[in-house]
Structure 1
Amino acid sequence: MILDNRGLEPPQPMMRTLAKLEELEAGQTLIIINDRRPMFLFEQLDELGFLYLTEQQEDGSYRVTISRKAG
């Protein structure tokens, strides 16, 4: 699943991402693309038990790959 949050003002990207994560089943991965590095989202992901990998793209946007921790 890919969720493109570019062009949205905070807190919309985080709200959309958290809503989509509720639909994420075990073994699935969510990829989000944001204009900014989603610092406040990382705290939420840690609390909710998700793993994530952040990569800055050539255009300055950020791609975050999110998955559930096993168990």
Structure 2
Amino acid sequence: MILDNRGLEPPQPMMRTLTALSKLQPGETLTIINDRRPMFLYEQLDELGYKYETVERQDGSYQITITKG
């Protein structure tokens, strides 16, 4: 699943992402695209036990692939 959060003001991207993650089964992956690096989201993901990888895209946005542990 891909969730495009570009154009949204904080905290909307984080809230949308956490809602989508709550629906994942262990081992499933969510990819999000954000305008900026989601620093506060990383803290939440660490606390919740998710694994993630961030890639900066050519347009300056960030693609984060998150896997539920």
What TM-score, normalized by structure 1, do the two folds share?
Answer: 0.94
Secondary structure at the counterpart of residue 23 of structure 1: coil
Instruction: Determine if the alignment matches structure 1 residue 16 to structure 2 residue 9.
Output: no
Matches within 5 A, 1:1-71: 1-69=1-69
Unaligned segments of structure 2, at least 5 residues:
none
Provide the aligned C-alpha RMSD in A: 0.6
User: Which whole-Å CA distance do the structure 1 matches of 2:5 and 2:60 have between them?
Assistant: 14
Runs of 4+ residues over 2 Å off in structure 1: none
Percent identity between matched residues is 70
